[in-house]
Structure 1
Amino acid sequence: MLTEDGVRLWATRAGAGDPVVFCHGGPGLWDTLEEVSGLLAQRVSVHRWDQRGCGRSQRCGPYSVARSVADLDAVRRRFGLSRMALLGHSWGAQLTLRYALEHPERVSRLVYVSGTGIDRGASWHEVYERNLRANIRSGLGRWEALKARKRTDAEDREFCVLQWSADFAERERALEHAERMATPWLGVNFECNAAINAENKRTWGTPDLRAACEKLDVPVLIVNGAEDIRPGWAVDSLEQALPRVSRTVLSGAGHLPWVEDPEGFRAAVSGFLADLQ
């Protein structure tokens, strides 16, 4: 599909029923939510896409939150959706929230998976860094060496697999799960990552953002894994601000809770989406 400024985006649809549009994490990654689609596509019509500059989409900017919101709306229009549910993971959860705040009339429900709330990242990032290093364990030295230097594409993949392995509670299978995330390897867009993260540092955690969340008249389900290395209390700020919110915490699961508790994840999300009209 093409955006209004002529950038090609990869998108796909599966299943039948009420429409749900997924937004993957990152920024700068590609769609990693095919397993989630498999859990839900018997009940809803799932729309997935690679964000601008990422994965199978055209690798060009500009990269910003506003541009990401506009691209999400382009996906909506491409599939002819007047109204849709949204499911976002990690950075994608922030993106779906931003979209809902700007276009609440186009959003029927919002599933906010493994996000980090609306406070500034500095409030939780130190805890995250400490947990990240603890979970990488024996690979920490290699991860630090790769982080500190210019890397080849193969080294980018190795670096990401080590880092992503920290996101799983099931430590004996963490590298296996991370390898699956990196296969096929579509290459991280670090320029996109840096641009959007820098913008979020300036704009997240403001009184205006909290006030907007307090007025959001859209049902929201927050889902997070109890063992996510991003502290669960980081998302409390969002839960406390939203007027129509429920929350599910899946024990024994990390940052990708559908991987380690697929049945619990499916039950929570499909139940929430069951009332779509």
Structure 2
Amino acid sequence: MGVRTDDGCELWASATGAGEPVVLCHGGPGLWDMFGDLDLPARLVRWDQRGSGRSQRRGPYSTARTAADLDAVREHFGLDRMVLLGHSWGAQLALRYALDHPDRVTALGYVSGVGLGWDWREAFSANFEARLGDGFARWEELRGRARDEAEERELAVLQWSVEFVDPTTATAFAERMATPWFGVNHECNAAIDAEDRRTWREDELVEACRGLEVPTLIVDGAHDVRPRTAVDSLERALPNATRVVLDTGHVPWLEAPEEFTAACTRYLLRG
């Protein structure tokens, strides 16, 4: 099903299931919806962000533009209010939307986000290299040169394998994330990352979050290579937040589906 934005961009979107509407915001930026294995007792609305996956490859690329696209998805499906669940960069997008439109969000799921500051990146780089182990040299080689589509996918699978705890199953999980393969939009990723570095300021965001009354569930994977202390200031700032830590890496609904579903059902869904 196609969603047309106010500037004419065509977005892929899909709604399945019944019950309270939950709109999902995938990670990236520049990736696509990977919530195919997510099972919640709700009406799940999935979509590919602008320039990504099955959506039209065109800009402009910015957080504000992506948030406006998210609102177009909400309107397309006739939702006055919705549960908003975002993963990784999508958690940041969902938080930004909730801050701008709290009246349209019944509850916020903030899954594996990286908080409000930038101090996490150095520790992340060290943890990433350590967990990738023998594969780090190949990752560096691929990153450092032009790649064909098969090598693009190989690089992504290598990179995503660090998101899981058990090395015996990590590559299989990463392969699931890369199937189907739509190709990373590096232009989108670079544009929004550069914008975030200019504008995503912890002190301003803490102040804004103090006024956000929307019930918020923060879900962390205890073994995420991104240090979870990065989310502490967000938890402290939000007046109505619950934090759940699961024994997983960065993608908890794949490694601990029952526990993830239980947490989301308990804290996000009213039925």
Same fold (TM > 0.5): yes
Which one of 252, 256, 260 corresponds to residue 257 of structure 1?
A: 252
Structure 1 contact 170–260 (Cα < 8 Å) conserved:
no
Q: TM-score, normalised by structure 1?
A: 0.95
- How far residue 151 of structure 1 moved from its aligned partner, in angstroms, is 1.3
In structure 2, the gaps of 5 or more residues are none
- How far residue 194 of structure 1 moved from its aligned partner, in angstroms, is 0.4
- How far residue 232 of structure 1 moved from its aligned partner, in angstroms, is 1.1
- How far residue 229 of structure 1 moved from its aligned partner, in angstroms, is 0.3
Question: SS of the counterpart of 1:34?
Answer: coil
- How far residue 207 of structure 1 moved from its aligned partner, in angstroms, is 2.1
Letter in 2 for 1:224: D
1:146 and 2:146 matched? no
Which one of 146, 163, 177 corresponds to residue 159 of structure 2?
A: 163
Question: SS of the counterpart of 1:88?
Answer: strand
Q: Take 2:154 and 2:270, find their aligned partners in 1: how far apart are those partners?
A: 42
The match for 1:267 is 262
- How far residue 35 of structure 1 moved from its aligned partner, in angstroms, is 1.1
Letter in 2 for 1:3: T
Which one of 166, 172, 195 corresponds to residue 176 of structure 1?
A: 172
Q: Take 1:84 and 1:59, find their aligned partners in 2: how far apart are those partners?
A: 27
**Residue-by-residue CA offset, 1:185-232 (whole Å, 9 max, x unaligned):** 100000000000111111123422111101001000000110000011
Letter in 2 for 1:257: P
Structure 1 contact 9–52 (Cα < 8 Å) conserved:
yes
Letter in 1 for 2:187: E
Which one of 2, 5, 9 corresponds to residue 7 of structure 2?
A: 5
Structure 2 contact 127–225 (Cα < 8 Å) conserved:
yes
Question: SS of the counterpart of 2:43?
Answer: strand
Q: TM-score, normalised by structure 2?
A: 0.97
The match for 1:32 is 34
Which one of 93, 107, 122 corresponds to residue 109 of structure 1?
A: 107
Letter in 2 for 1:259: L
- How far residue 109 of structure 1 moved from its aligned partner, in angstroms, is 0.2
Q: Take 1:140 and 1:49, find their aligned partners in 2: how far apart are those partners?
A: 32
In structure 1, the gaps of 5 or more residues are none
Structure 1 contact 118–209 (Cα < 8 Å) conserved:
yes
Question: SS of the counterpart of 2:11?
Answer: coil
The match for 2:82 is 84
Q: Take 1:256 and 1:206, find their aligned partners in 2: how far apart are those partners?
A: 25
- How far residue 138 of structure 1 moved from its aligned partner, in angstroms, is 1.4
Q: Take 1:25 and 1:165, find their aligned partners in 2: how far apart are those partners?
A: 15
RMSD: 0.9
Q: Take 2:60 and 2:129, find their aligned partners in 1: how far apart are those partners?
A: 32
The match for 1:52 is 50
